[in-house]
Structures are given as C-alpha cells and as structure tokens.
Amino acid sequence: MSNLIRWEPMREMMTLREAMDRLFDEAFTRPLSLSGVSAMPAIDMYQTDDEVVVKAALPGIKADDVQISVTGDLLTLRGEFKQENEKKDATYHIREHRYGTFERSIMLPTDVQTDKAKADFENGILTITLPKAEAVKPKTITIKAK
C-alpha cells in the first residue's frame, strides 16, 4: 500500500529560499581561496592629520613581484601568489594556500601627493605611506582675544 502525501506549495518555496540562502552564504562569506579562486590580500587603511597609510598582508611574495599604482583617488595593488611544486607522492588533506594573480583597488579617503609616497615591505606586510595633499591637511587658526 502506498502512502499519499499532500502537496504543500509553501514547503517547496521554503526549500527554494533555503537554497538561495545557501548560495549567497557560500558566495559571500566563504573565503575565496576555498572556492578555487585566488584570494585578495587583506588590507588595513587609516589616516592621520598628515598621511594615509595602507597595509597589505602579502605572505610569500617578494617585493619585486608587487606593483603599486595611484590613479586619481584609486590605489591599486597587483601581484601574483606563486604556487609551489605539488607533491606527487603525497595525499593532501587540507590545501588552503592561495595562488594566482590578484588585483585589489581601493578608494583613497582624500587627495594625496603621489610623488612623495613611499612603500616598505617587511615580514610579508606591505606598508604604503601616502602624504596628504596640502589643500586637505587640517589647518589651525589661532584666536586673538581683544
């Protein structure tokens, strides 16, 4: 004897909704390196009264393999994480190291003097220091009391 199950369209809609939720969760919250695409470097950016500082984590990359450009108010980093030789006689259980080319562009919060910019690379951290343009630096005005 077969059992009849009543069809409920709302149950099907919830399944579609759950599938869409799962799709967006995997697309936006899962690290890119786990999905087979090279990951972008992590970046911190802050500003002081005189400069904008950008720090990028680039482990395993040589300083010569990174290109930095500033066009208007857009800072762009380009480079490549090189893949080390795969062990043919080994069975990988976890493989999360990223590889491939990357290009990361970020908007700068203010105008900068690109001709006075400097970049330092130490222990896998690239630090870019961009002095602010004179026109945007805060100026203090002294008040004379009468």
Residues 114 and 62 in one domain: yes
DSSP-assigned letter for residue 109: S
- Please report the beta strands in 7-124, taking only residues with DSSP state E, as ranges in sequence order: 43-47, 51-57, 67-71, 74-81, 100-107, 118-122
Task: Say if 28 falls within a structural domain.
Answer: yes
Residues 67 and 15 in one domain: no
Lowest mean pLDDT among 70-79, 84-93, 113-122: 84-93
CATH code, domain carrying 65: 2.60.40.790
pTM to 2 decimals? 0.64
Domain of residue 122, residue span:
39-85+97-136
Task: Say if 145 falls within a structural domain.
Answer: no
Per DSSP, the residues of 92-107 read -S------EEEEEEEE
**pLDDT tens per residue, range 8-35:** 776 666 667 777 777 777 666 655 444 4
